[in-house]
Amino acid sequence: MHAILNTPLALLLALLAAFASPAIAQDEDAPESPGFVAHPDEPAVTYHSVSINGERIHYQATAGTLVLPKGKDNEPGARIFYISYRKTIGPVEPGDDPVFPDAAERPLTFSFNGGPGSSSVWLHLGVFGPQRVDHADDFGNPGPPPHRVVPNEHSLLDKSDFVFIDPVSTGYSRAEGDTSPKDYHGLNEDIASVAEFIRMFIGRESRWASPRFVAGESYGTTRAAGLVRELQNTHGIATNGVILISAVLNFQTIRFDVGNDLPHILFLPTFTAVAHFHGALRPELQQRDLAGLLDEAERFAINDYTLALMQGSTLSDAERERIADRVAAYTGLSKEYVLRVNLRPDMPRFPKELLRDRGLTVGRLDARFTAQDRDDGGDTYEFDPSYTAIRSIYTESMNAYLREQLGYESDLRYEILTNVWPWSFKGAGENRYTNVAERLRSTMQQLPFMRVFVASGYHDLATPYYATEYTMNHLMVRPELRGNIEIHEYAAGHMMYASMPELQKLKRDLDGFYERSLTD
């Protein structure tokens, strides 16, 4: 031992090498572990088929990225991840070139979700795409993992090709080089970047002849309303139709701020729908048909309730008592509670208060879902049980689908819903409520053929259906164009397609919308 310790370093290293096992020596020739792969060099292109409405649809799926330029030198600004589906004429065998329908006969729909900070996964795997998440039941419960996708027999791929866009910082989309993500984190900046993506995609894929549609959900409808104007005014790209799922164009309708009574009025019918679903209304109202009951709640909200709130402290005591009783009747809350909150139940206190005596909170995105908090004494809910119901099933399904079926492999985290704050509303909400409804009206006047499809869920406490109706009724679009707007409502929540019966209804309604948009 002393001999080894006293041996010069070079001789010691030689002795260690001599004693090394053959297995260790062989490891020197083993391939190195692959480095971190953010984005593959080439898009992943695969071919599949799905049965929709009894018809077998063959299609090409492409998962890849498109680099947006910036500045006069067109340096890389951001890399946008997308998944596109294009119908093929017949199946495509290995080694064969695909044959596509005539572009002029095949619509192209660009789809995205909201947040801001959300990827396009929800509309993609919920309703539009050829594969969908596999809920445990028709209600929309996720069930335990593992979660995988299944063929979507209610896909819209029989009506249109689709491109699902992940805005900067969502999905696999990232700012490039020395560009800051904040350069894209704003209402106008976001709209401009998505419009630029669409312009480049149409050119690269030779789809200038195709009819074009834009589809958004939640904040994605805010983007869509601005996007159709940006496409028209900046790029000269017209849009045939706009699909707004769970829309919010005027943020004054959903912000419960001191001094803003509008949301109290517009949320009340949704409170009625939620209380009715959970059997929390008074017996004489609980036994009523929902549609008729909501008509009555809407009339109360826009008439007596509005007049009472507008009077503020000048409202008489007798009238205050009468209004409190009616608000309690239509919301399932106690009259005492309604009086304590000065006739103004709001979000997010309503989900905690409605079923407090049962120890349950209701969901924000979908108030059909319930959960239990740590205790029953809180003012607001601990978490949204409806978001919990969708988060894992969509996240796991998307990651598995990307790798196992689309063949796209990235070591980046696929950002389902990420934090992009602070988000700039400059240009549409600086020192006031964000409102892009005027952008939609302006585009409808410029493009009198453009149709608008609006879908809302009765049990949506994020973007309530009556607030959406209010916004559409205040577009001030010319009378001859009002028929271009169609409003559909569903007995579910923000993502009404989580309910199988409502997904089937949404599919039928959208089929009709595409047909009307392309033939009227």
pLDDT for 6 equals 42
- Domain hosting residue 264, numbered range: 258-385
In a domain, 285, yes or no: yes
In a domain, 223, yes or no: yes
Same domain, 462 and 511: yes
The CATH number of residue 180's host domain is: 3.40.50.1820
Of 385, 414, 448, the one marking the end of a domain is 385
pLDDT for 257 equals 95
Of 335, 365, 385, the one marking the end of a domain is 385
Same domain, 162 and 64: yes
Contact 362, 354 (CB under 8 A): yes
Same domain, 399 and 468: yes
Same domain, 216 and 178: yes
Of 335, 368, 385, the one marking the end of a domain is 385
Same domain, 322 and 427: no
Contact 348, 267 (CB under 8 A): no
- DSSP character at residue 32: P
pLDDT for 520 equals 76
What are the DSSP E strand ranges found in 54-173?
55-70, 75-87, 108-112, 131-133, 149-151, 161-166
In a domain, 226, yes or no: yes
pLDDT digits (tens, 9 = 90+) for 5-35: 344 444 444 433 444 444 444 455 656 667 8
Same domain, 159 and 262: no
In a domain, 27, yes or no: no
In a domain, 464, yes or no: yes
Residue 375 CB partners (closer than 8 Å, separation 6+): none
pLDDT digits (tens, 9 = 90+) for 241-277: 999 999 999 999 999 999 999 999 999 999 999 999 9
In a domain, 496, yes or no: yes
pLDDT digits (tens, 9 = 90+) for 441-480: 999 999 999 999 999 999 999 999 999 999 999 999 999 9
Same domain, 217 and 352: no
In a domain, 39, yes or no: no
Single pTM value for the model: 0.92
Nearest to 44 by CA among 76, 95, 83: 83
The number of domains in the chain is 2
Same domain, 82 and 210: yes
What are the DSSP E strand ranges found in 148-280?
149-151, 161-166, 174-175, 212-218, 241-247
pLDDT for 30 equals 56
